[in-house]
Amino acid sequence: MISFLSKYLPNVVQLGWGGDAGWGTSIVQTIYMTWWSANFGGILGLIFGVLLVVTKDGGINPNKFWFNICDKLVSIFRAIPFIILLAFIAPFTQAIVGTQIGTTAALVPLTLGIFPFYARQVEVALEAVDKGKVEAAQSLGATNWDIIFDVYLSESRSELVRVSTVTIISLIGLTAMAGAIGAGGLGNTAISYGYNRFNNDVTLVATILVIILIFIVQVVGDYFAKKLNHQHR
């Protein structure tokens, strides 16, 4: 097996598994960036998504002021191309983590890059909840917090898992882009050690590994979405 890889994928073997440029290191860095930015961006996106639904006209607590602020913030951050966002918020990243480059520094732009996408996904998922259930909860004296957690989030949990899966897959793509400018991970390996050095085998393997990660996320997401949907029924 080793002789086969050395013959047909020599540059892949040369990178090795450990070290700063090893395959194991790149995979861990990609998972690290995806995991933490998914958590931070997910929380931020969920908050904004809920606020958009709750404060809009016809929501359970209409508030034009807060709706406009949330809507504009989400729209602005979503409109900025990620590669430009990386440079635009570099001073903010420096202030937060003390550096503008590296895997940890990438968490700031990744979080701000993915949260508006997820916020819109959450907004759509919550708006699909049966309005009759919301009205029924209100008629029974449920508070806004009760409706948010026991109606909106509970009724849409299967759809929330689906949109979370789509968001994480998009996020993996952003980590590859962040890696291309020094954040590490498989994106950095594909560009710095593959494309820039004309090592096509490295680029190929890095791409395959990204696809495998995306496939795993898709399978796990589909499983839990279906399971929650059956439990709901």
pLDDT, tens only, 15-61: 888 877 789 999 999 999 999 999 999 999 999 999 999 999 989 99
- Predicted confidence at residue 53, as pLDDT, reads 96
| End-to-end CA, the chain | 49
AA letter at 126: L
Neighbours of 43 (CB within 10 A): 13
Extents of the domains making up the chain: 21-232
Whether this prediction's pTM lies above 0.85 is answered by: yes
- Predicted confidence at residue 67, as pLDDT, reads 96
Q: In this structure, are residues 101 and 90 in contact, taking their beta carbons and an 8 Å threshold?
A: no
- Predicted confidence at residue 42, as pLDDT, reads 96
- Predicted confidence at residue 180, as pLDDT, reads 67
Which residue blocks in 80-199 are alpha helix, DSSP H?
A: 82-88, 90-97, 107-127, 131-139, 144-146, 154-155, 157-178, 185-188
Q: In this structure, are residues 25 and 32 in contact, taking their beta carbons and an 8 Å threshold?
A: no
pLDDT tens by residue, 71-85:
999 999 999 999 899
User: If you count them, how many residues does the chain have?
Assistant: 233
Q: In this structure, are residues 174 and 113 in contact, taking their beta carbons and an 8 Å threshold?
A: yes
- Predicted confidence at residue 90, as pLDDT, reads 87
- Predicted confidence at residue 148, as pLDDT, reads 94
Residue 16 φ/ψ region, left for φ over 0, alpha for ψ in the -120 to 50 degree band, beta for the rest: left
Q: In this structure, are residues 139 and 161 in contact, taking their beta carbons and an 8 Å threshold?
A: no
- Predicted confidence at residue 5, as pLDDT, reads 65
Enter the tokens of residue 16.
């090795």
CA distance 85 to 78: 10
CA distance 80 to 113: 8
pLDDT tens by residue, 131-152:
999 999 989 888 999 999 999 9
Longest dimension (CA), the chain: 72
At the fourth CATH level, the homologous superfamily of domain 21-232 is MetI-like (1.10.3720.10)
Neighbours of 72 (CB within 10 A): 10
